[in-house]
Structure 1
Amino acid sequence: MTSTGPTTAEHPWPVRTVARKIAEWINRLGAVWVEGQLTQVSVRPGNSTAFLTLRDPAADVSMTVTCPAALLRGMEPPPAEGSRVVVHGRPTYYVGRGTLSLRVDEIRAVGIGELLARIERLRRLLAAEGLFDTARKRRLPFLPRRVGLITGRASAAERDVLTNARGRWPAARFRVINVAVQGPLAVPQIRTALSTLDADPEVDVIVVARGGGSVEDLLPFSDEALCRAVAACRTPVVSAVGHEPDTPLLDHVADLRCSTPTDAGKRVVPDVAEETARIHQLRDRARRALHGWVDRERRLLDALRSRPCMADPYGPLDRRGEELFALRERARRAMLARIVAEQTELVAIRSRLTTLGPAATLARGYAIVQRFGPDDVPHVVRSVADAPPGTRLRVRLVDGVVQAVVPTEPEVPAGSGERR
């Protein structure tokens, strides 16, 4: 069977063939420049080859590096664990052991100036993305239920935060996660602790604390992946890294920057003595305000009670009642006087009407004579010519009516021109 044909269960490749093919594929990569952080440096006396472990500072990825021991001994200062380096080499696959390593022929230490320049470029990038804006920073809770603390194991930073916080608020509760705060394992461990505390519903604030150190020691706190993880946290994060002059990028991304771990212990919880004094002060202010309000309302009530309407509430009612009674009497008298006057005038008018009426004239001896026409309708006789002989008359007197007929031959007394 050739090594170029397809493999099957009946025709597999031997291990040497697979190893040789892997080596051929890897050898095609050629030489590369790689940057990382040294986590292990092993140079045995009498051995011409040095073994190193190069780790990615932002991810849990590492690879084995081999180089001539003389290359390390010739570097000044010699590289140590935690150093940032740039190496030049080519990937090599050792067929006999089936391992992959990077065979390097040049190692360059990354200087402080270059590290600071990279941090400055990253700072401008994160600022342009808005991760440093004060508008996105959240206020710390007044009294957190539990404080998450990420710091080194048995470190002075842990002691400072716990001592100062519990000195201010003895009932303060903490959830402490100890991680590496420098070196290649710092960033992944801090990110893992951040996600753990951010998922805890009882943790209301997270403190990342570390003591002072060199620029290389504080490099993990300027890592881009860590800064983005802090910006993505839903829980407010407090940065307490280094001393006052130290300003890693974590200080700009965090919701609150504390100059030291001691300052962080004072900022995350209130002071019980100050709060007790403030409560007493507020109680005194409330008591004075209440007393002042009661005195003011009492004076107002006294002033209201001293008014005449309140001192003698029935007096105005009695006076108004008397006025109402007097007005009612005046109205009654006026109404009676008007009725009497109208009655008097009515009697006078009735007397005049009676005097001028036909009944009064009839009472004085006069009569009303009417004749009946062809239609039997009575008509008033106004002249002698209106009553020819034979005319039926109707004579109305004061006390009744008399029927009469005009005679055909009237008798005229001597000296009278009247017809009877």
Structure 2
Amino acid sequence: MALETSADKPAPLRQISQLIEGYIGRLGAVWVEAEIAQLTRRQGVCFLTLRDLTAKLSIDATCSSLILDASPTPITEGARVIVNAKPAFYSPRGSLSLELREIRPQGEGELLAQLERRKQLLAAEGLFDPRFKKPLPLLPRGIGLITGKASAAERDILENARLRWPDVRFVVRHALMQGSSSAADVIGSLQRLAQDDSVDVIVIARGGGSIEDLLPFSDEGLIRAVHAVATPVMSAIGHEPDTPLLDLVADVRASTPTDAAKRLVPDVREELAGVASMRERANHAIRAMLERESRGLAAIRTRPVMANPVTLVDMQQNIIHDVRDRARRSISHRLDRSSDEIGHHLARVRALSPLATLERGYAVAQLSDGTVVRSVDQVSPDVELTVRLADGNIGVRATDTTRKEDAHG
């Protein structure tokens, strides 16, 4: 509603502020294109200053930190964005601001967002997996170089590589390094070099440029082609801050074309110096070993055993003689004891033998079947007996038998 005021009937400031707040509160959300002039995070809330792209005009804005974090690319000061915002008026301070509901990066930020999405998709397929990285040869027979014709990158790589290793051999394939046809041109050169058996490593090189200039080296077709070739591929695109997707799929990333030349071939001067140093170290080690062995041989020759080698044999021979003598004495002693024991046993056996009894005058009577007569009941008159004496047998015939008891009676 219109407010009627006059010099005699002015309206309070608070009323004017409330009317402005109500009017602005009825406004809907709008899409705004601007540049972020200032950005501050504080306890989950972001405070921004949006600046017009052409006019010297700025306005404050606020949003939740989650809205900034949801952006596919980092939102920083100086970024060009499109925001969905609702105007808000803060009556106590009389300030106008925008409440941001969505932020979309534009221009370079949008390109970075697209590249980030492509990077995530290709990484999910495993194209950037370090397990697939192939090592560079120590000294390649041939180096395939894909670069722009008469470019600074070509000159840097060729000159620096030949300064390091004069005999290095390059197979150069010129291709478009910028524009819509660049990726297809580079892919064709890459496939031709990959079929060349004399090429051990392929380098794709270009100087620096803007994000738009380097877009061909983030082309999905080129990324897949590099991943598919069996020959190691080195990426030398732009300068250190430039990171096209080719850097991620390549087996080796060089920060600059000059760095690529240093990685491709060793420095002949450094290698010769290294060989000379190793030769000197080897000579020193061999001399030290020979001197150590010579001192050892001299020390061994001064030992008594080396001065008179038979000394050791004599010592061992004396030991053997001593052992042999002890063995003989031990065996002789054992035989003597055993002989005595045998004599004692023989005496006992003889003492217990029936022959010894017979030698004392006793005789043994046997029947005809060899049975020893132990009782008179075994013998009847006229029975033939054999009487065994110590020195022979006597045949007799029994005429009579008498018992002891009967004899005593």
| Alpha-carbon distance between aligned partners in 1 of 2:370 and 2:137, rounded to the nearest angstrom | 123
Counterparts of 1:81-100 in structure 2, within 5 Å, are: none
Q: In structure 2, do the counterparts of structure 1 residues 113 and 281 end up closer, same or farther at CA, with 3 Å as the change threshold? A: farther
2:323 corresponds to 1:324: yes
State yes or no: 1:338 paired with 2:337: yes
8 Å contact 2:358–2:389 — kept in the other structure?
Answer: no
Displacement, 1:150? 0.8
TM-score by length of 1: 0.54
- In 1: Cα distance, 2:345 partner to 2:304 partner: 53
Q: Does 1:122 align with 2:115?
A: yes
The AA in structure 2 aligned to 1:207 is: V
Residue 216 of structure 2 is aligned with which of 215, 220, 234? 220
Distance between the aligned counterparts of 1:133 and 1:256, measured in 2?
Answer: 13
Q: Distance in 2 between matches of 1:323 and 1:214?
A: 100
Partner of 1:64: none
SS of the residue corresponding to residue 170 of structure 1 reads coil
Q: Does 1:239 align with 2:235?
A: yes
Q: Pairwise CA RMSD of aligned residues?
A: 4.5
Report what 1:6 is aligned to. none
Q: Is the 8 A contact 2:157 2:260 kept in 1?
A: yes
1:321–1:371 distance in 2 versus 1, CA, 3 Å: closer
Give the partner amino acid of 1:114.
G
Aligned pairs, number: 288
| Match among 162, 168, 171 for residue 167 of structure 2 | 171
Q: Which has the larger radius of gyration?
A: 1
Cα gap change, 1:143 to 1:371, in 2 (>3 Å): closer
- CA contact 1:227–1:253 (8 Å) conserved in 2: yes
Partner residue of 1:270? 266
Q: 2:201 aligns with which of 202, 205, 208?
A: 205
Q: Aligned partner of 2:187: which letter?
A: R
Amino acid at match of 2:275: I
After superposing the two structures, state which structure 1 stretch, 300-309 or 131-140, moved more.
Answer: 300-309
Q: Deviations over 1:370-418 (max 9, x none)?
A: 7999x999968989xx999x999988888884868869xxxxxxxxxx9
Match of 1:360 in 2: 360
Whichever residue aligns with residue 361 of structure 2, its letter is T
**Normalization by structure 2: what TM-score?**
0.56
Gap change, CA 1:343 and 1:239, over 3 Å in 2: closer
Contact kept in structure 2, 1:126 and 1:132, CA below 8 Å? no
Report the CA distance shift for 1:116/1:140 in structure 2 as closer, same or farther (over 3 A).
farther
Letter in 2 for 1:224: E
Change (3 A) 1:120 1:381: closer
How far is 1:333 from its partner?
Answer: 2.4
Q: What is the CA distance between 1:178 and its match in structure 2?
A: 1.3
User: Does the CA-based 8 Å contact 2:201-2:234 persist in structure 1?
Assistant: yes
Partner Cα distance (1:377, 1:132) in 2: 115
User: What CA deviation, in whole Å up to 9, does each residue of 1:79-109 have, x standing for no partner?
Assistant: xxxxxxxxxxxxxxxxxxxxxxxxxxxxxxx
Task: Tell which deviates more after alignment, 167-176 or 325-334.
Answer: 325-334
Identity over aligned pairs, percent: 43
